[in-house]
Structure 1
Amino acid sequence: MFSKSLKGKIALALGACIIGTSVAAADFPTRDIRLIVPWPAGGGADAISRKISNIAEDELPKSVYVENIAGAVTATGLIQMTNSRPDGHTVGVLTYDSVITLPRGQMVPGYSLDNMTPIARITTEADAIVVSKHSGINTFEELVEAAKASPGTVRVGVAPKGSGPYLSVIQLEKLLDVDFNVITYAGSSSAEAEALLSGELDAAISSLGDFSGIIASGDVKGVVELSSVQNLTYTDVPTISSKGYDLQTGSFIILSAPKDTPPEAVATIETAFKTAYDSAEFQDWLKQVGVTPDWLGSDEVKGWMDELQNKTFKLMDELNL
């Protein structure tokens, strides 16, 4: 049995720990926040993350700095995030591959969504087909005609097997009854952009936002977006539903922290990024690059991720992927 004096000391020590934790949470952040983007610099996820974090840091007493840690289809960077101290000073960006491709394939030991605390979904982006000016293709109909005329010759670039764009091209081949020459590219869409510019690819599948720079330069052209909702930025790019087909695929940006990050820290980050999200600067910028603002807060985003996983895994089972 403990003596009264010892019990008192233990109680004081526990009280000090509780007070210390509360003070730490109240003072958050005490240093700059590291935002890990698990893709190379230059892609769509990187651009969105940098833009919103630059605005969000105006709402915080410390800065937010982006660190690109690519590799293993986002797992390399996100494992570094989950292995960091869960105090809110390290957060990461999740995309389609982080939520679908990696868990589906169970390809990277130590990677698990269970090790994360989702904070918010910031944007969603429908997949789209863009064509290189070198291809001689100018419309969705011409793309389909070329694929039917010479099966296996129209070169379409996508992310690796298991990714969203890869799933999209497989569904498209079945839907359109065509056979593309599918070429996969590791890393971000910047690799596909280079291949489109050089004439190595006839077409590629990713979001219009990912290709915004080379669309603006006229080097590539969007011919269809895999959505039923017209893109308000790229009004000249038709939806696939307007062509009589039903196919909706795409990616998103989700902000997440390590598991067991204090709720107070999560709330502070969420509030700062929601303020940045609502700003005219961010909303206007999204319109310029053709990305859809689509906020879900911490109370909803986990359920949305679970529902997306269940729906997509079922489709993959049906397609034997």
Structure 2
Amino acid sequence: MLKKLALVLAAAASFGFTAPGSAFAEYPARDIRVVVPWGAGGGTDGIVRKLTQIAEKSIGASMYVENIEGGISATGIAKVMKAKPDGYTIGALTYDSVITVPWQGLLPSYKMDKLKLIARVTSEPDALIVSKDAPYETVKDLIADAKANPGKVKVGIQNIGSRTHLALLQLQEETGVTFNLIAYPGGAALQKEAILNGEVAVVATSLGDLAGLIQGGDARGLMEFSGTRNPTYETVPSAADEGLDVRMGSFIVLAVPARTPDDVVAKIEGAYKAALDGEEFQTWVANVGVTPDWIGSADVTGWSEETSEVLFKQMDDLVARGVISK
């Protein structure tokens, strides 16, 4: 019996098999896919591509970004949940992946416990951004126009029920105005197109998402939904500067399928931490106005659960008051 067992183990080793839960000694042995659940050209896509490009120098294998859009990020992240837990599929989660999709229950099979969170890598407040030709010099100008023309001032948000939608609902409630909210489910990439072709003069997303337009002079920040000013865009007032209470923002969290071995997770985490801390990414990210904001694998799941609990309660309260529907 022992002889047969030895032969079986030897055969398994010859084919590269390892016992369940053991280390992947040769990881990585092939290309690694990084799923971005939003369109190419948006803020999340740009940040993840840059960080991944640097991380692959440390991890020792080629890493490529694949954009899988749809379902307010659920389509792409659901594919990560279903992928083999071998470290060769990584997902880039955003606010909607962690908050909107689970809260709305868009996919019954979409469960956060199907993922193992690696780290939060960035955080950034959202903002009101206007086209270069918009008649608004301050957020007070925008509010005054919305009061004079109820329901007529168009503002491009990302998805119904998204963080940008909630931010505008809070702004409406706080200021007593009604905007014409136009949803662009593809995220910042479609908002960028909308502001360039004149569909809307105002959008709600992060300054980092539209950094290219802002730097090129095609758009400008009107106000960030934050308590302090962004050091990259010091001329853009915060909500606190304008005497407003609305606060909202997003983040990027890296994750892998739940049963991915811990040693593989550690190698991915180490590569991205080195990339994030390095001079190349720090210099690049400062120009787009996004804050590197690391929470590692030891703490990121707890942070995610606490954040979800707080925001779920806020959205449940809005449903109870009839402001939004679930």
Give the shorter-chain TM-score range.
over 0.9
* SS of equivalent residue, structure 1 residue 273: helix
**1:126 touches 1:250 (CA, 8 Å); kept in 2?**
yes
Show the counterpart of 1:190: 189
Shift, 1:25, TM fit: 1.5
Show the counterpart of 1:101: 100
How do 1:164-313 residues align onto structure 2 when only pairs under 5 Å count? 164-313=163-312
Query: How far apart in 2 are the matches of 1:167 and 1:238?
Result: 20
Show the counterpart of 1:20: 18
Equivalent residue letter for 1:105: Q
- After the TM superposition, which of the residue ranges 130-139 and 166-175 deviates more from structure 2? 130-139
Show the counterpart of 1:3: none
Query: How far apart in 1 are the matches of 2:37 and 2:102?
Result: 16
* SS of equivalent residue, structure 1 residue 26: coil
CA-to-partner distance for each residue in 1:161-208, whole Å, 9 max, x for gaps?
A: 111101111011011111111111111211111111122112110000
Query: How far apart in 1 are the matches of 2:279 and 2:150?
Result: 47
> Which stretches in structure 2 are left out of the alignment for 5+ residues?
none
Query: How far apart in 2 are the matches of 1:83 and 1:147?
Result: 45
Query: How far apart in 1 are the matches of 2:306 and 2:5?
Result: 46
- After the TM superposition, which of the residue ranges 14-23 and 230-239 deviates more from structure 2? 14-23
Shift, 1:306, TM fit: 0.5
Shift, 1:27, TM fit: 1.6
**1:134 touches 1:199 (CA, 8 Å); kept in 2?**
no
Query: How far apart in 2 are the matches of 1:23 and 1:203?
Result: 52
* SS of equivalent residue, structure 2 residue 100: helix
Query: How far apart in 2 are the matches of 1:259 and 1:26?
Result: 19
Query: How far apart in 2 are the matches of 1:178 and 1:26?
Result: 60
Query: How far apart in 1 are the matches of 2:154 and 2:239?
Result: 20
**1:125 touches 1:291 (CA, 8 Å); kept in 2?**
yes
Query: How far apart in 2 are the matches of 1:76 and 1:307?
Result: 24
User: Is residue 61 of structure 2 the alignment partner of residue 84 of structure 1?
Assistant: no
Equivalent residue letter for 2:119: A
Query: How far apart in 2 are the matches of 1:26 and 1:120?
Result: 22
Equivalent residue letter for 1:282: F
Query: How far apart in 1 are the matches of 2:115 and 2:17?
Result: 26
TM-score by length of 1: 0.94
Shift, 1:247, TM fit: 2.1
Show the counterpart of 2:41: 42
**1:131 touches 1:138 (CA, 8 Å); kept in 2?**
no
Shift, 1:10, TM fit: 4.0
> Which stretches in structure 1 are left out of the alignment for 5+ residues?
1-5
| CA root-mean-square deviation | 1.8
* SS of equivalent residue, structure 2 residue 247: coil
Equivalent residue letter for 2:53: N
Show the counterpart of 1:157: 156
**2:99 touches 2:308 (CA, 8 Å); kept in 1?**
yes
Query: How far apart in 1 are the matches of 2:139 and 2:304?
Result: 31
* SS of equivalent residue, structure 1 residue 200: coil
- After the TM superposition, which of the residue ranges 140-149 and 264-273 deviates more from structure 2? 140-149
Shift, 1:133, TM fit: 2.5
**2:146 touches 2:153 (CA, 8 Å); kept in 1?**
yes
Equivalent residue letter for 1:138: E
* SS of equivalent residue, structure 2 residue 246: coil
Shift, 1:7, TM fit: 5.1
Shift, 1:110, TM fit: 2.1
* SS of equivalent residue, structure 2 residue 18: helix
* SS of equivalent residue, structure 1 residue 20: coil
User: Is residue 51 of structure 2 the alignment partner of residue 59 of structure 1?
Assistant: no
Query: How far apart in 1 are the matches of 2:39 and 2:180?
Result: 26
**1:138 touches 1:221 (CA, 8 Å); kept in 2?**
no
* SS of equivalent residue, structure 1 residue 319: helix
Query: How far apart in 1 are the matches of 2:70 and 2:97?
Result: 12
Query: How far apart in 2 are the matches of 1:8 and 1:249?
Result: 64
* SS of equivalent residue, structure 1 residue 256: strand
CA-to-partner distance for each residue in 1:24-56, whole Å, 9 max, x for gaps?
A: 512211111110111110000100010000000
* SS of equivalent residue, structure 2 residue 24: helix
Query: How far apart in 1 are the matches of 2:257 and 2:74?
Result: 14
Count of aligned pairs: 316
